[in-house]
Structure 1
């Protein structure tokens, strides 16, 4: 059964905020500390014109995860469309500082700085071509940031990592019989789970590989001491 945050995310990405709203409200109720749930709900309210609720959930998303660049990017785009340019500039700058790959945030910030600069008298000069590292902004006001620009919800990230988590736990269990195989195999699977988006799942697998490997080593050490066998490394 799909999680409400996934269904709401999908509907929002299809431009159906009315349909997405109840699913995202339920997602926030079920996961009140999930910053992305609040972000998606804020986007839905913003698209529906409910600025009070949108800003409430934007603020909650920022409070829950102040290191999420995409939260600040969306917050900046919202403020930009509201005409609150100074606050929008700060949000864009924060987004780009947290994630330098967000070129759109930098373009929007450059656009706002340029607008502020052009409002003061200056000697006209020939325009300077933008450098490749600082592309010219495409417009003064950015288009709405769509949910498809965001990372996938936590449930989707877990689903992508699940095969590696399951494989890692199975391989880790082998560590009871062959400790080195279980430890190395579980560690690799745990690392892949983290790469696929599930940090918690990957850490669980690595911890299981370590614990079961140690238990296996102790068991075979005891067997070796009692029977003079060879430790299966």
Structure 2
């Protein structure tokens, strides 16, 4: 009886391993050539299988990208929960920023295809939709984190700061991923420094707008 129950599980595990192989190969090809220049033949060659075997799992390159992107975004969402939980206002800003940045940098360094696929100029349509939804969710999580440090700030100001901070992080991430070793570590530190310098006067003042300026509604 136990043997009969275990057989479907073993088949499922084997199937998962067979799917994981071309996905890992696709990640390597997408990082090397970009999505547009990649081909199913190149992915099959990287996976060490025939194109026919690849087509048993995925009908085309877009289907591979969608499956790979979906898995990465699911994993990234779990990272959000750990990195962007509402903070303790007593936590130093530098520590809060450093902890969040370290988690996201670690994820992107472990999965460089995430940046290559999600931020490339030729991102597939369905992946773009998933990424837009993920971006919106990330802005919301950053807003929640900021609100714990800026409880009196208007929502429009918090949203604007969250978007600006995310934009700075994304730009810095590209430089981080372009380097390795000690130079990468230096860029990570520069990114943290830039975010802290941006946020510190805002958090310290609750909003931090220069005298004479007012908040503008977020469209």
TM category, shorter: under 0.3
- Greater relative contact order: 1 or 2 (C-alpha under 8 angstroms, separation 6 or more)? 2
More helix by share: 2
* TM norm structure 1: 0.24
Computing the radius of gyration over CA atoms, which structure comes out larger, 1 or 2?
Answer: 1
* TM norm structure 2: 0.25
